[in-house]
Amino acid sequence: MDANQDELSNPFGMDEHCENCPDLCGPRTQVVHGYGDVSADFLFVGERPDAGADESGVPFTGAPAGERLLGILRRLGLCGSAVESTEPELANVYLTNLTRCRRPDRPPRDDEIDNCEPYLSAEIRMINPEILVPVGERALDQLVEDYTTTAPAEVSLPEAHGDRLRGRGFELVPMVDPATMDEAQTDAFVHDFSALMASDYRQTKGRRGR
């Protein structure tokens, strides 16, 4: 699987007609794969596309929650376009989800997350980021289980919002779901993540010999 960085949307050319989850194929508008810089240090992972992303085809766009996240990225210098953009100009950041399709009446089941796991695993492997940002409780539970030695029950939001968690080859920095994030939590994440960006965060890969 090769990256096409001429394209920010689905740069790894993943299956846009995936039918691995029959209960999600009918309700979805389209399959929403990842979007952004394929050499990014920072990879943000949500639970599933929201209604805006289901329409736009780009994670975290087209709805107020996504605009809040893009606003945070703008404040961090990682997004150069308006928060209303459905094709945001991202640098050093990649956006994706545990699952790639939206069913409006319910969140994804565990088996549907499992079905999509190879897509996420491939993105993480190909991008090889320094920092994974689980967005929301479901993404936090999944990434803590898959990429740390910590039990998911030991880490929760909002308590872990903006904290740095040592993982297996990555650091995790959890984020409260932007749909419920208040201004104080927004400012706190920008403050904490700015401090991370100013630190020697790349030392993580140094210890992995990469």
The confidence score (pLDDT) of residue 169 equals 86
Strands 93-97 and 165-166: unpaired
For the chain, give every domain's residue range.
34-71+111-126+136-210
pLDDT of residue 206: 41
Q: Are strands 165-166 and 171-172 parallel, antiparallel or unpaired?
A: antiparallel
Axis crossing angle, helix 183-198 with helix 64-75, rounded to the nearest 10:
40
* Locus of tokens 């650091």: 171
In the chain, what is the greatest distance between 2 CA atoms, to the nearest angstrom? Answer: 46
* 35: nearest Cα among 119, 114, 161, 144: 119
| Those residues with Cβ within 8 angstroms of residue 160's Cβ, 6 or more apart along the chain or in another chain | 140, 174
Helix, coil or strand: residue 45: strand
> Tokens 């989800």 belong to which residue?
97
Give the per-residue pLDDT at 162: 97
Token pair recorded at residue 208: 């992995």
Grouped pLDDT means (10 residues each) for the chain, 210 residues: 78 96 95 97 97 96 95 97 95 97 96 97 96 98 94 95 93 97 98 96 53
- Cα separation, 35 vs 40, in Å, equals 11
pLDDT score, position 146: 94
What pLDDT was estimated at residue 75? 98
- Residue 9 is given by DSSP the state B
